[in-house]
Chains A and B, each alone.
Chain A
Amino acid sequence: MGVSIVPTLRVLKPVGMIAGVGFVGLLVGYFANAAFFPGTTPVQPIEFSHTVHAGDYEIPCLYCHTQARRSPSAGVPSVNKCMGCHAIVATDSPLIREVARHYENDEPIPWIKVHDLPDFVHFPHNRHVAAGLECQECHGPVETMDRVTRMAPNEMGQCLTCHKDMEVEHGIDCLTCHK
């Protein structure tokens, strides 16, 4: 009476081992990926904190990223813009001295782009700002980030979902975004 489970287990043993190794590999890979490819949270040349600027002091996004209002590209503010305040504000800080060095040498700060769309996508920031979208809807709560993380998946589904929800005119036509 009774069927032994042992033969079944014997067959399943290699399968279980492969699954186990695979699972460990996935875990290692998941964390190693974040360590080796910090693509979504790059370390910027100067540790600029959005928490201080946009969070604590509540400077509007469009004060610095002013191009978002009138051009397809949101742009990063020029060093001149930084020095507009920092010629008098927090001039003793080592980070600000670094900014001032760039300003005096007439060279731009090599910021690393966090939200980088593929080149075949047409995304005009000005149209989306005009449509009344909050920056946070795509970029996440930047005002709470010391180091900016890419929140948007930057995938086509994100564009389509929003265009459908907002009932954008011809919003799901390919040529609306693809170029």
Chain B
Amino acid sequence: MSLIDDFLARWHEYRRPGYYEEFDYHWTMTVDLDRCTGCEACVTACQAENNTPIVGEDAIARGRHMQWMRIERYWEGEYPDVKLRAIPMFCQHCDAAPCETVCPVSATYHNQDGLNAQIYNRCIGTRSCAVYCPYEVRYFNYNNHHWDEPLDQQLNPDVSVREKGVMEKCTFCIQRIRQAKDAAKDDGRRRVQDGEVQPACVQTCPTEALVFGDRKDPDSAVSQMLGNERAYTVLEELNTDPSVVYLKKVDADAA
């Protein structure tokens, strides 16, 4: 078998539907847009938890902003009859992620928990993944960042500080997932219970619009939400099969 044939054979193996379903967890988040007020508390919490730098005015003017989580705002209607639609947007941890297929060094890949992993040490900064990502949720470190005193004291020791030239994105707070798994093993349990892991955004959300959990556990809060008839995924037609599910009541008469 030639090298190409071998590669193609394995490629189909990885792209087989349900390949990732064979593993332990399938971390999923649901975002209830009918509850979301667009307050951006989740954005702030994410920034604080994950050592995301404050890039400054100049960088933002050049489109080099860094927020693993952002609120996309959509205004509907004419004044005075204006409505705000807010959609929290962050890495969708797609099961068929376009970013994973394009990375030349496998710095981003799918791990056994259904997470789209980003390994900073491996990343060489081609930025191909950001180009391929249809959700525009990957952020590139164009510079080394520093934290003025005393802000450096609030850096999270469980999250590495990224350097210039690597891509970064939402990790579903992998450090918290890891800690919950360690705690579960210390207790002699095989699995993490529902509600033991909360990413920073979920923990902070004042209206509890965000729910995080394991899709494989049929009793978990997130599994209950998935059965809701309001559920949809963003850019469904691209077949990326995201792990983030949004809920929104669509009223045809309201428009």
Contacts and interface: CB of A to CB of B under 8 A. Distances in A.
A120 B117 contact: no
25 contacts: A119-B157, A119-B160, A119-B161, A120-B160, A122-B158, A122-B178, A124-B182, A126-B186, A127-B182, A127-B186, A130-B185, A170-B24, A170-B111, A170-B112, A174-B109, A174-B117, A174-B122, A175-B115, A175-B117, A175-B119, A175-B174, A178-B121, A179-B174, A179-B175, A179-B178
A178 B157 CA distance: 13
Main secondary structure of the interface of B (DSSP, over half): loop
A178 B122 CA distance: 10
A59 to B, nearest CB: 25
Most buried by B among A120, A127, A130, A175: A175
A175 B178 contact: yes
B158 A179 contact: yes
A16 to B, nearest CB: 40
Interface in B156-194: 157-161, 174-175, 178, 182, 185-186
Interface string A137-179: 0000000000000000000000000000000001001110011
A120 B120 contact: yes
Interface of A: 119-120, 122, 124, 126-127, 130, 170, 173-175, 178-179
Contact of B112 (A124, A126, A173, A179): A173
Nearest to A170: B112
Given A170-B112, A174-B109, A120 B174 contact: no
Contacts of A119: 157, 160-161
